């Protein structure tokens, strides 16, 4: 299992990287960006991907940062997931993103895999796209025509497909800090810890006067992209929190999923069942962390 031959470039700046991507695009040469390689390398070794050229972003120090912008946290796309997991800023001010990070693979995968790579790769079972939809994150991309910002809802298109053009580099992901009093949960069910999830949920919950004033329920690993479950949120609105309500919301959410993924790991029915369980557990955990 060895990658097929390709040419390799490691540009020194973002501008050079984009110029290279544009040049290959013009020439009809298939070029792929290489970030941490933790998804691309297996695809090259299995020869699922056979690009003619790799453009390695490792020298772009300008894309390595975790920045406190007050109400927003900005992460440079080449920041490693391990750096994200070790960031006190993220752990304290956006714990949902921290918990999502801790569910990704294993430590050595997080050490070399980048934050941006997980967004660009857009695996249906990946944690970050669910966090992105739950938090209304924004993705910044730079291409030959300049920079643009893409909201999470438009960014993830389908299996392994995003809104990014072949000539665009994802440079930054941006998230709001958690609003005071909001409860959060990020959990998943997998056969062993570190395995890809069979089903997972990202949940936000706000209380006012002992009732649920607002909620956000997003699940992943069950459809081509992470999906929000408005039916579950509808069940919760204005209600007093409790285990029975959370179970009902989980069932309502599970019922509204169209054609859950069925594969060797879990049938469609089993995945639907897991959604109801993981959503109910997530809501209970979020409630325990909410104030108001």
| Residues engaged in binding another protein (CB under 8 A) | 1-8, 10, 34, 37-38, 41-42, 44-46, 54, 56, 58, 82, 105-109, 111-112, 193-194
Which residues are paired to 207 by β-bridges? 212
CB of 285 to ligand FAD, least distance (A): 19
Return the range that interacts with ligand FAD (CB under 6 A); candidates 113-121, 143-151, 241-249, 282-290: 113-121
Q: Which of residues 7-66 bind ligand FAD (CB under 6 A)?
A: 32-40, 42, 57
CB of 49 to another protein, least distance (A): 12
Q: Is 90 exposed, middle or buried (0-12, 13-18, 19+ CB in 10 A)?
A: buried
Q: Which CB atom, from 36 or from 241, has the smaller least distance to ligand FAD? A: 36
CB of 241 to another protein, least distance (A): 29
CB of 32 to another protein, least distance (A): 12
Q: Which CB atom, from 109 or from 231, has the smaller least distance to ligand FAD? A: 109
Q: Would you count residue 100 as binding ligand FAD (CB under 6 A)?
A: no
CB of 191 to another protein, least distance (A): 13
Q: Would you count residue 186 as binding ligand FAD (CB under 6 A)?
A: no
- Partner touching 45 among ligand FAD, another protein, none, CB below 5 to 8 Å by kind: another protein
- Partner touching 170 among another protein, ligand FAD, none, CB below 5 to 8 Å by kind: ligand FAD
Q: Which CB atom, from 135 or from 169, has the smaller least distance to another protein? A: 169
Is-contact 34 11, C-beta < 8 A? Answer: no
- Partner touching 241 among another protein, ligand FAD, none, CB below 5 to 8 Å by kind: none
- Partner touching 108 among ligand FAD, another protein, none, CB below 5 to 8 Å by kind: another protein
Transcribe the chain into DSSP letters. Answer: --PPP-EEE--SSHHHHHHHHHHHHHHT--EEEESS-TTHHHHHHTTS---SEEEE-TT-GGG--EEE-SSEEEEETTSBHHHHHT-HHHHHH-HHHHHHHHTSS-HHHHHHSBHHHHHHH--TT-HHHHHHHHTT-EEEEEETTEEEEEEHHHHEEETTEES--TT-EEEEEEEEPPPTT-EEEEEEE-SSTTSPPSEEEEEEEEEETTEEEEEEEEEESSSSS-EE-HHHHHHHTTPPP-HHHHHHHHHHHHHH--S---BTTB-HHHHHHHHHHHHHHHHHHHHHH---
CB of 215 to ligand FAD, least distance (A): 24
Of the residues 196, 221, 225, 260, which one makes contact with ligand FAD according to CB under 6 A: 196
């Amino acid at each position: 299992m060895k990658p097929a031959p390709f040419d390799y470039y490691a540009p020194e700046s973002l501008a050079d990287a984009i110029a290279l991507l544009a040049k290959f695009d013009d020439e009809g040469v298939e070029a792929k960006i290489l970030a941490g390689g933790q998804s691309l390398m297996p695809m090259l070794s299995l020869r699922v991907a056979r690009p003619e050229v790799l453009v390695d972003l490792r020298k772009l120090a300008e894309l390595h940062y975790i920045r406190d912008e007050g109400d927003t946290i900005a992460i440079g796309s080449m920041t490693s997931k391990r750096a994200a997991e070790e960031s006190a800023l993220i752990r304290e001010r956006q714990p949902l993103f921290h918990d999502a990070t801790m569910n990704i693979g294993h430590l050595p995968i997080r050490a070399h895999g980048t934050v941006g790579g997980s967004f660009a790769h857009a695996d249906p079972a990946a944690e970050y796209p669910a966090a992105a939809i739950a938090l209304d994150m924004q993705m910044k991309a730079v291409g030959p025509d300049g920079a643009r910002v893409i909201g999470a809802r438009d960014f993830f298109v389908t299996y392994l497909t995003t809104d990014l053009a072949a000539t665009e580099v994802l440079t930054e992901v941006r998230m709001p800090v958690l609003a005071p009093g909001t409860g959060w949960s990020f959990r998943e069910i997998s056969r062993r810890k570190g395995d890809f999830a069979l089903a997972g949920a990202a949940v936000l919950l706000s209380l006012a006067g002992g009732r649920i004033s607002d909620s956000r329920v997003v699940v992943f690993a069950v459809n081509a992209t992470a999906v929000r479950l408005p039916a579950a949120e509808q069940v919760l609105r204005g209600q007093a929190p409790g285990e029975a309500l959370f179970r009902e919301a989980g069932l309502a959410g599970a019922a509204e999923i169209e054609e859950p993924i069925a594969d060797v790991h879990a049938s469609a029915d089993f995945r639907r069942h897991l959604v109801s369980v993981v959503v109910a557990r997530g809501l209970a955990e979020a409630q325990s962390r909410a104030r108001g």
